[in-house]
Structure 1
């Protein structure tokens, strides 16, 4: 029993660390309280060179404030003996968010994290978008880094409350999440390898999708 309580406390602490907003990120808009009923998030389909089957995991925060996506084989590389197609890796996820029927949700902000080792003259890019099944795809957001660079990286995309895209009330629509990494060697030495990963090298930090909630109109 004590071991179970310890494991539960450790999981809660891990989410608290992952969901703590970085000091340089814009403030997430104040939102109404999330539903009391615990939500679940599961992967419906996975496609893309950056996320082979079995390399993606999702988990919802205990307080319903967010969910995380963890990748274990998402790496783009260029130079030296890298395959020519490895400069670009992408992942398309279709997620099922099991939420209470009287609530709707939107993605308020997303924290993307990873590691990059870029030689001088090399550029790395992270690009992402998301949309609900049957709705137009949202505008993609991209972030770039230039070498020399060898460190963890982080990018945050945030939307104001008035621009949030809400899941339709009374309908079950999957949430589609598209991400992409690119490594471009440009005029740098092609004999030296540069690479960029999604998630840190020890996979302890995940991409965090922070949720906004509101109640659906009563029928």
Structure 2
């Protein structure tokens, strides 16, 4: 069972077990002690204050992010700026001494209604404060489509970007949804993509790769 915690402008402390999944540690076993995550910032048109929530598993084995107002759209009923929505999370992840981590995998899901000729895009990037290395993955969708969607971002072992050992850096996770009318008629139709799902299941799930510092 998950415990939802609403996140707005204030920081929220989360306690998460180090072992997110049996395969989470690509280079070594996860640390034996629990990991504390502070949600220090939530910004973006896709996650206005009070519309995003962090849920911590009852056994502290995972954390997820869900959204209630993350929707990009074009056409009838939309505003000119609605074609793109984004959300940036700033996470301060406190790990036990002697360990560091990277984002190895992320699962996203939502619902899309795209008219014939319309297109959609889901993009996510991850980077540590003060570091130039950025991992970015883009997924594209083409109408006609009216169904739940799901994407998985997996970073190859040799491309993982780890937090610097012995330094506390904010992990920034930036997600984005875009919709383009394309050859569909925006005067008579509406196309949209949402970062949610019709059955209320988890929207995003983040997996860690751990390694010991020298």
Q: Taking structure 2 as the reference length, what is the TM-score of the superposition?
A: 0.83
Tell me how many residue pairs correspond in the alignment.
197
Q: Is the 8 A contact 1:39 1:60 kept in 2?
A: no
> What are structure 2's unaligned runs of at least 5 residues?
4-19
Aligned: 1:42 with 2:38 = yes
Q: Deviations over 1:53-72 (max 9, x none)?
A: 12222345577765322222
Aligned: 1:192 with 2:189 = yes
Q: In proportion to residue count, which structure has more strand?
A: 2
Query: How many Å separate the matches in 2 of 1:137 and 1:46?
Result: 21
Q: 1:119 to 1:143 in 2, by over 3 A?
A: same
Query: How many Å separate the matches in 2 of 1:112 and 1:45?
Result: 20
Report the equivalent of 1:211.
Answer: 208
Report the equivalent of 2:117.
Answer: 121
Query: How many Å separate the matches in 2 of 1:40 and 1:72?
Result: 25
Query: How many Å separate the matches in 2 of 1:65 and 1:173?
Result: 22
Query: How many Å separate the matches in 2 of 1:64 and 1:213?
Result: 17
1:81 to 52, 77, 93: 77
Q: 1:54 to 1:178 in 2, by over 3 A?
A: same
Correspondence list, 1:125-204, <5 A: 125-190=121-186, 191-204=188-201
> What are structure 1's unaligned runs of at least 5 residues?
1-9, 13-18, 21-26
Q: Deviations over 1:134-160 (max 9, x none)?
A: 101414211111111011111111112
Deviation at 1:186, TM superposition (A): 1.2
Task: Quote the RMSD (CA, aligned, Å).
Answer: 2.4
Query: How many Å separate the matches in 1 of 2:114 and 2:127?
Result: 31
Q: Is the 8 A contact 2:112 2:193 kept in 1?
A: yes
Report the equivalent of 1:57.
Answer: 53
Q: Deviations over 1:103-141 (max 9, x none)?
A: 100001111111101111110100110101110141421
Q: Taking structure 1 as the reference length, what is the TM-score of the superposition?
A: 0.81
Report the equivalent of 1:92.
Answer: 88
The answer to which of 57-66 and 82-91 deviates more is 57-66
Q: Is the 8 A contact 1:34 1:64 kept in 2?
A: no
Moved over 3 A (4+): 27-31, 59-67
The answer to which of 182-191 and 66-75 deviates more is 66-75
Q: Is the 8 A contact 2:65 2:202 kept in 1?
A: no
